[in-house]
Amino acid sequence: MNFLKKIFNSRSSKNCGNFSYYKELTGFTPHRVEYYEAAFTHKSVTCRDKNGNKINYERLEFLGDAVLGCAIADYLFTRAPRGNEGYLTQMRSKIVSRAQLNIIGKNLHLEQKIKCAFGDVQIPDAVYGDTMEALIGAIYLDRGYDKCKKFLHRVIITPYVDIKTLEHKVSSYKGLLVEWAQKTKKTLSFEVCDTKDDDLEQQFGIKLILDGVCVSKGRGTSKKKAEEQASKRAYYQLRYKIDNKK
pLDDT tens for each residue of 173-185: 898 899 899 999 9
Does the annotation count 61 as an active-site position?
Answer: no
The DSSP output letter for 212 is: T
> What is the b/e burial string over 127-160, where b = at least 16 CB atoms within 10 angstroms of the residue's CB?
bbbbbbbbbbbbbbbbbeeeebbbbbeebbbeee
At 198 the pLDDT is 63
- 66-96 pLDDT tens trace: 999 999 999 999 999 999 998 999 899 889 9
In order along the chain (246 residues), what is the average pLDDT of each group of 10 residues? 46 64 95 95 86 89 96 96 91 89 95 85 89 97 96 96 87 88 93 78 90 93 90 91 70
Which is catalytic among the residues 130, 133, 142, 227? Answer: 133
> What does each C-alpha distance from 40 to 13, 16, 170, 205, 241 come to in angstroms?
18, 15, 30, 28, 44
Which is catalytic among the residues 37, 65, 130, 227? Answer: 65
Does the annotation count 130 as an active-site position?
Answer: no
pTM for the whole structure: 0.73
Whole-angstrom distance, CA of residue 138 vs CA of residue 133: 9
CATH fold of the domain at 2-165: Ribonuclease iii, N-terminal Endonuclease Domain; Chain A (1.10.1520)
At 232 the pLDDT is 92
Q: Where are the domains of the chain?
A: 2-165, 173-243
Indicate the CATH number for domain 173-243: 3.30.160.20
At 196 the pLDDT is 81
